Every structure is written in structure tokens, then in C-alpha cells.
Amino acid sequence: MRPVQLGVALAALLVTLLAGLLVGAADLPVAGVLKALLDRVPYVHLDSGLSPIEQNVLFELRLPRVLLGAAVGGLLAIAGAGYQGVFRNPLADPYLLGAAAGAGVGATLVIVLIPGDPKLAVPLAAFVGAISGVFLAYVLGSTASRGGGAATLVLAGVAVSNFLAAVQTFLQQANAQELQRIFSWILGGLGLADWATLGMIAPYAIISTVVLLLHGRLLDVLSVGEEEAASLGLSAARVRLTVLVAASLATACAVAVSGLIGFVGIVIPHVVRRLAGGSYRVVLPLSLLGGAAFLEVADLVARTVVSPGELPLGVVTAFVGAPFFVVILRATRKQVDP
């Protein structure tokens, strides 16, 4: 990776993070926000000039939200890049193996069974559901085909996703009074971000991200073909399983705290490949940074375009991602059938 590529990605992320802290119903001064942030650095003492209410808005509302948005966007993007490396398909996305459907069932179960507004129960249930969905898909794919070939895993993921979607639909029909809460979660958003939520996903997010970044070189080797990779001493099945587990864990973390936010895992890795090349040693870290910046911009739009209301975040990403998906599909078709 060239230093200029990393520098541009980091600068874009920092700008979007700062914009997320400044823009909102309450205006905060740029200088005051920067001083307040620096004041939290050890051995640095600055008077920000912010009132107690402004301090509370900054550190209890906006900062957790922008950090959670960056984490969700980065996790979805790097997971998408990992899936695309395993399946050697630019249309693979983080919800491919039943993670989204499993998370939907888990969240729906908690919403219909627990009255009120359980703070951490819905994210935890969505996380467990996402991991369970991917596990079922992998077991089914491995049972159907020894070694769990890529095509078999995709088919197993489709089967599990459709089954879990049917279960979720049944739960919704049986509990029509909770449809608003269920659909609010499904459409995605960061409105419930807080420090407890960030702490809940942090260990899993860090582990999955590190594992994916460390497998960039192996995904480059795997991209030349499984037989060629085997001739170089690489176990394609082991690499595929490790990357799938890490990418699914990253997806589960993101889905658990934000609901279903589509297209990030397709759009960002594809843009990175076009701008920085196809090596996964470059695609993975730049997708992480680019996905974080992209979702920050999307959340900024969601918060401001219908102010004082708020658009579902999944709607904003779909407006950008759906046309882009068509472009990718057309480009892929031209490569396959010139």
C-alpha cells in the first residue's frame, strides 16, 4: 500500500468523523469540540468553553454515534471484501450466508417476547442469530459437499436465509402489534448508540478485523485458483473457513447494533479495487477505512435531510448502493461474456 492511499483514506475518515460531531440539532463550535476532545487526552488540559449541556451532547450523544457508525461501516466493508475474496465474486456481500436473516429472527424474537424496550437484549439476540445463521449455512454446505466448496456454501446460505426469512415473517404475522418496532430495527439506524453498545461489540470487532487483515496475502494467493494455491502449499479450505468465520463475526457485530444496512459491503470494496488495485493486502484495510467514512456520510444525510426527523440508515445506503449494484452487475457481465 502506498502511503498516499492510506493518508487519503485516513483524512477522509477524520473529516467525516468531525462532521458527524459538529452537525446536528444543536450547533457546536469547531474550536470548542476540538479542544474538548484534546482535553480527554492524558496530560493535556484545555478549556473548551463548552457548556455542561454541550459537553453532554458531544460525549454522550454524538461521539458514541459517530464511533459506532464508523465501526459498523468498517466492519461491513471489510467483511464484504473478505467474502468477495473467498468466493472470488465481486457481488458477494456480508449477508450472503444467512447472517442478516439470522439476526432478523433473533431481534424479532426478543421484540415480540420481551415487553418494553430492552436496551441490550435486541443487539445480543441479533448477534446470536447472525452467528447461528452462518453456522447453519456452513454445516449444511459442508455436509452436502466435502470441503465446503464455494458454490455449495452460497447455495446453503440462500437456503438457510429463505428458511429464516419465512420464520421471521411468521413471527411478524403472529405479532402484528409489534410490526413498527420490528421494521424500525430492520431498516437500520444508529439512534440507540451509546458507550455500553460500543463496549459490547468491541472485542469481537477487533478480533474479526485483525484476522481479516492478516489474511490479505493468503487471499491474494487464493485468488489465482484453488489448485494453484494448493501447489504453493496453501490449504484453501482452511483459509476459506477462517475468513468466513471472521467476516461473519464482523457482520454479526455490525448487524446486532445497527439493524440491516445493505450495500456497504459491495460498494466500498469495489470502489477500492478501482482506485487502488485488486490486492487484498490493500483492499482489506482501505475497505475498512472507506466503509467507516461512507457510513458516516450516510448517517449525516439520514440525520439532516428530513430534520428534525431521521431517515432509516438502510434507506440512505440503498439509494446509493442499488444503482451502484447495477453498475457492478453490468461490468461483471461484460467480463464474463465479452
Rounded to whole angstroms, what are the CA distances from 329 to 24, 51, 82, 193, 220? 36, 51, 19, 34, 23
Residue 336 has pLDDT above 70, yes or no: no
Per-residue confidence (pLDDT) for residue 117, from 0 to 100? 60
Q: Is the model more confident about 196 or about 209? A: 209
Per-residue confidence (pLDDT) for residue 285, from 0 to 100? 96
Rounded to whole angstroms, what are the CA distances from 265 to 44, 134, 269? 38, 16, 7
Q: How does pLDDT run across 37-89, given as a tens digit for each residue?
A: 998 888 888 888 888 999 999 999 999 999 999 999 999 999 999 999 988 87
What's the pTM value of the predicted model, to 2 decimals?
A: 0.89
Residue 220 has pLDDT above 80, yes or no: yes
Helix H or strand E encompassing 290: helix 280-304
How far is it, in rounded angstroms, from Cα 242 to Cα 239? Answer: 5
Q: How does pLDDT run across 324-335, given as a tens digit for each residue?
A: 777 766 766 555
**Highest averaged pLDDT of the listed ranges 37-46, 157-166, 286-295:** 286-295
Domains of the chain plus CATH, in order, are: 3-330 (1.10.3470.10)
Residue 7 has pLDDT above 60, yes or no: yes
Per-residue confidence (pLDDT) for residue 36, from 0 to 100? 92
* Torsion (CA) 327, 219, 201, 120 in degrees, nearest 10: 60
Average pLDDT along the chain: 86
How far is it, in rounded angstroms, from Cα 193 to Cα 66? Answer: 9
Residue 105 has pLDDT above 80, yes or no: yes
Rounded to whole angstroms, what are the CA distances from 205 to 34, 65, 211, 217, 314? 27, 16, 10, 21, 21
The residue among 254, 207, 210, 209 whose CA lies nearest residue 68 is 254
52 CB-side CA count, 13 A: 0
Whether 277 and 217 have beta carbons less than 8 Å apart is answered as: no
Which range among 87-91, 302-306, 317-321 shows the weakest confidence by mean pLDDT?
Answer: 87-91
Which range among 129-133, 140-144, 289-293 shows the weakest confidence by mean pLDDT?
Answer: 140-144
Per-residue confidence (pLDDT) for residue 329, from 0 to 100? 67
Mean per-residue pLDDT for 229-235? 76
Mean per-residue pLDDT for 236-258? 89
Percent above pLDDT 90 for the chain: 36
The string of DSSP letters for 173-197 reads HHTGGGHHHHHHHHT---TT--HHH
